């Protein structure tokens, strides 16, 4: 600034403002600022507003959120509609510190480290209302936004629509966008053309969100002709302007080729930009991408899942929990896995609730994890969810999250038995044993049959035992044998032992000790203690023709290790026989 400019400004602040505006417009911001300051100190509202903008944007002066706030507030109090509108916008976005005339403000991008991040809708409404009533199109758009998105007591959809219409009529891009969204919320399909027109007006003004929405309606043909190629170009434009939602959609389109172009590498790059800019869905999708890659890159997936989970993404929290529980991509940590599973479940993810409940019911959870589990299942079970009813029955049976109550367990298992084989089997066992309700052997047989028909091996074996012994109905050894053979053929160790016992006793099957030994051996190899006892007895005594005292003793020792007293007795007798033989 020249000496003449300074002297002119001191004598005539209005002239100083005119000169400052000229210098600013030709890019001489540093020379313009002192003249703006002179005019501002003289109390000219427009100058105060311009000084505030200089401080906020760092134009011609080092950026200062505090000074920008002070001058903007002075201009607003003098009736500057522009200052009132900007102040309202900054209150809405939470960029107003508490140390600039009691309020203050800042620009998020320039002064992010100073931002309080707490919106003040009441103060924003006061300033926006003044600006709107003074005819500021920006103020009208901001007031419409506040009346739409502010706290519920402050909302007024009709008044917001009115102010959006006023703003849009004046050509304000934000007003056009707000009007389009207001029309869409009113749900009139007849308004699709008008909605599209208002979005286009906002997009033509360069508003990134409007460009993105124009891409969406162009992609789907809402209020205009469907044009995938044009939609892709619009997504690209909005993405290049830094809008994370557009970057995410562009990334998806390039990866799957949905809009005509396919470039997986470019798509992943846009997805990364979106995720790093805070789009949590993009972070989650990236995690899924790396999990499904061949081979999977669990470490990379974990980093993206964790980013999304920390921002509150339900499915991502469940996904990172799974990685911690399995040790894929991260160090195995059951506690951390349960923590994330609990976070996902608490936020409403039904699959995570089931996962967490299964951990608890399997005995791998902790006491604190049981909170809410039964309530989750009861809500779903009461609405007819049979799996939830089954899990709730287990909760009552095992006392997980509720007081143990076999009567309630039987009630919920009976509900679940209408379609869940595991519930049919458990309910049948309660009927058989008289737990939680009166014993009813015929009904127990019926429910075992349902579960057996669904392919449950334990149910086949339980039904076979009832058929063999005539419990709950007539005896049918032949039908029992068929069930035992089916279950044994599918690897059920109890069924193998039962077939060995039937062959030995000649019940339902011909007496056949060789076949009995074969079935005992099959069950013994799979760890069945009683089968190991019988195999040891057969081999040590040569009951089926094969005499092998060494192998017999080994199997008896294994049976004894299961706590079977008869095996200990056999071993003692075996040792006594060996001693007598040495004496002789």
For residue 67, is it left (φ>0), alpha (ψ between -120 and 50) or beta?
A: alpha
The reported pLDDT for the residue numbered 344 is 92
| pLDDT: which is higher, 188 or 270 | 270
- Residue 64 CA: distances (Å) to CA of 38, 53, 57, 105: 18, 10, 9, 10
Calpha distance 47→13 (Å, rounded): 9
**Is the separation of the CB atoms in 84 and 136 below 8 Å?**
yes
Q: Tell me the percentage of the chain whose pLDDT exceeds 70.
A: 90
E strand or H helix that includes residue 108: none
What DSSP assignment string belongs to 159-196? Answer: HHHHHHHHHHHTT-HHHHHHHHHHHHHTT-GGGHHHHH
The stretch 266-284 carries a mean pLDDT of: 95
| Residues 64-108: tens digit of each pLDDT | 878 888 899 999 999 999 999 999 998 888 875 554 444 334 333
- For the chain, the domains span 509-583
Give dist(CA 136, CA 149) in Å, integer. 20
Residues whose CB falls within 8 Å of the CB of residue 297, separated by 6 or more in sequence, listed in order? 290, 291, 329
Q: Is 110's pLDDT higher than 50?
A: no
How does pLDDT run across 226-270, given as a tens digit for each residue? 999 999 999 999 999 999 999 999 999 999 888 888 898 999 999
3-state SS class at 249:
helix
- pLDDT tens per residue across span 145-163: 999 999 999 999 999 999 9
Rounded average pLDDT over 416-421: 94
Q: What is the pLDDT of residue 378?
A: 82
- pTM beyond 0.95: no
In whole angstroms, how far apart are CA 140 and each of 131, 168, 178, 180, 207? Answer: 7, 9, 10, 15, 17
Amino acid 136: pLDDT: 95
* Alpha carbon 259 to chain centroid, angstroms: 27
Say which DSSP state 456 is in.
-
Q: What is the pLDDT of residue 434?
A: 95
pLDDT, tens digit, 9 for 90 and up, residues 119-139: 899 999 999 999 999 999 999
Band of residue 210 on the pLDDT scale cut at 50, 70, 90: very high
The full 3-state SS of 463-503, as one line of letters, equals HHHHHHHCCCCCCCHHHHHHHHHHHHHCCCHHHHHHHHHHH
Q: Dump the DSSP string for 384-450.
A: T-HHHHHHHHHHHHHTSSS---HHHHHHHHHHHTTT-HHHHHHHHHHHHHT-SS---HHHHHHHHHH
CB 210 within 8 A of CB 176: yes
> Contact, 68 vs 53, CB < 8 A?
yes
pLDDT digits (tens, 9 = 90+) for 449-488: 999 999 999 999 999 999 999 999 999 999 999 999 999 9
Q: Is the pLDDT of residue 39 over 50?
A: yes
What pLDDT is recorded for position 577? 65
Three-state DSSP class for residue 288: helix
Structure tokens, 576: 């006594």
CA of 554: how far to CAs of 253, 291, 459, 518, 537, in Å? 66, 47, 32, 17, 11
DSSP 33-97: HHHHHHHHHTT-HHHHHHHHHHHHHTSSS---HHHHHHHHHHHHHTT-HHHHHHHHHHHHTT---
What pLDDT is attached to residue 440?
96
| CA-to-CA dists, residue 242 to 176, 270, 288, angstroms | 21, 10, 24
The whole-angstrom separation of Cα 561 and Cα 527 is 11
Residue reference for tokens 């993810």 = 349
Tokens encoding 199: 């979005």
3-state secondary structure of 513: helix
Q: Is 579 exposed, middle or buried (0-12, 13-18, 19+ CB in 10 A)?
A: exposed
| Cβ atoms of 448 and 459 closer than 8 Å | yes
- If one counts every other C-beta atom within 10 angstroms of the C-beta of residue 312, the result is 12
Taking the CA atoms of the chain, what radius of gyration do you get in angstroms? 39
| Side-chain-facing half-sphere of 89: CA atoms under 13 Å | 20
pLDDT given at position 413: 95
Is the Cβ–Cβ distance between 495 and 487 less than 8 Å? yes
SS3 of residue 255 by DSSP: helix
DSSP state of 368: G
pLDDT value of residue 542: 92
Closest listed residue to residue 394, CA positions, set 432, 431, 434, 425: 425
Residue 4 is predicted with a pLDDT of: 43
Give the whole-angstrom CA distance, residue 318 versus residue 340. 6
Q: Is 297 exposed, middle or buried (0-12, 13-18, 19+ CB in 10 A)?
A: middle
DSSP 348: T
What gap in Å lies between CA 413 and CA 444, rounded to an integer? 13
Question: Of 114, 100, 107, 136, which is closest to residue 123 (Cα–Cα)?
Answer: 100
The angle formed by the CA atoms of residues 225, 231 and 232, to the nearest 5 degrees, is 150
Q: Summarize pLDDT for 333-371 with one digit per residue, the tens.
A: 999 998 999 899 888 887 887 787 777 766 665 545 555
End-to-end alpha-carbon separation of the chain, Å? 127
- Is the per-residue pLDDT at 426 higher than 60? yes
Average pLDDT, integer, range 192-197: 92
Looking at residue 106, what is its pLDDT? 35
What's the chain's average pLDDT? 88
Average pLDDT over residues 296-319: 95
């Amino acid at each position: 600034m020249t000496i003449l400019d300074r002297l002119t400004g001191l004598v005539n602040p209005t002239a100083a403002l005119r000169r400052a505006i000229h210098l600013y417009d030709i890019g001489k911001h540093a020379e313009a600022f002192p003249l703006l300051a002179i005019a501002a100190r003289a109390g000219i509202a427009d100058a105060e507003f311009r000084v505030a903008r200089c401080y906020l944007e760092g134009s011609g002066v080092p950026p200062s959120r505090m000074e920008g706030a002070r001058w903007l507030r002075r201009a607003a109090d003098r009736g500057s509609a522009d200052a009132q509108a900007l102040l309202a916008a900054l209150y809405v976005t939470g960029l107003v510190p508490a140390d600039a005339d009691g309020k203050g403000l800042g620009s998020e991008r320039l002064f992010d480290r100073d931002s309080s991040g707490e919106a003040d809708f009441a103060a924003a409404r006061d300033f926006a209302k003044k600006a709107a009533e003074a005819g500021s199109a920006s103020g009208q758009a901001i007031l419409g936004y506040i009346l739409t998105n502010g706290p519920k007591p402050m909302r007024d959809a009709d008044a917001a629509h009115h102010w959006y219409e006023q703003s849009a009529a004046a050509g304000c891009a934000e007003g056009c966008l707000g009007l389009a969204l207001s029309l869409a919320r009113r749900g009139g399909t007849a308004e699709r053309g008008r909605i599209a027109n208002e979005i286009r007006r906002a997009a033509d003004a360069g508003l990134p969100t409007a460009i993105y929405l124009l891409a969406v309606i162009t992609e789907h043909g809402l209020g205009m002709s469907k044009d995938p190629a044009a939609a892709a170009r619009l997504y690209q434009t909005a993405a290049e302007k830094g809008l994370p939602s557009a970057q995410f959609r562009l990334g998806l389109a390039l990866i799957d080729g949905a809009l005509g172009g396919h470039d997986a590498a470019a798509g992943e790059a846009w997805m990364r930009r979106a995720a790093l800019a805070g789009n949590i869905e993009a972070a989650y999708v990236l995690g899924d991408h790396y999990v499904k890659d061949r081979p999977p890159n669990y470490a990379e997936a974990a980093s993206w899942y964790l980013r999304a989970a920390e921002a509150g993404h339900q499915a991502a929290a469940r996904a990172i929990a799974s990685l911690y529980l399995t040790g894929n991509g991260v160090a195995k940590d059951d506690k951390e896995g349960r923590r994330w599973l609990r976070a996902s479940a608490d936020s409403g993810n039904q699959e995570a609730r089931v996962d967490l409940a299964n951990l608890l019911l399997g005995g791998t959870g902790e006491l604190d994890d049981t909170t809410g589990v039964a309530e989750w299942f009861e809500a779903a079970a009461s609405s007819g969810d049979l799996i939830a009813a089954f899990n709730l029955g287990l909760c009552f049976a095992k006392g997980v999250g509720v007081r143990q109550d076999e009567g309630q367990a039987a009630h919920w298992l009976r509900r679940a038995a209408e379609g869940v084989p595991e519930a049919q089997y458990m309910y049948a066992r309660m009927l058989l044993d008289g737990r939680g309700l009166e014993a009813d052997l015929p009904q127990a047989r019926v429910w075992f049959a349902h579960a057996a028909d669904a392919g449950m091996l334990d149910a086949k074996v339980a039904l076979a035992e009832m058929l063999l012994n005539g419990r709950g109905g007539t005896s049918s050894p032949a039908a029992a044998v068929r069930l035992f053979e089916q279950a044994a053929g599918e690897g059920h160790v109890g069924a193998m032992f039962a077939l060995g016992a039937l062959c030995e006793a000649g019940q339902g099957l011909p007496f056949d000790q060789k076949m009995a030994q074969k079935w005992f051996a099959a069950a013994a190899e799979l760890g069945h203690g009683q089968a190991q006892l019988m195999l040891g007895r057969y081999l040590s005594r040569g009951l089926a023709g094969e005499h092998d005292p060494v192998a017999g003793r080994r199997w008896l020792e294994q049976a004894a290790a299961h706590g079977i007293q008869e095996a200990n007795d056999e071993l003692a007798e075996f040792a006594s026989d060996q001693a007598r033989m040495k004496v002789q």
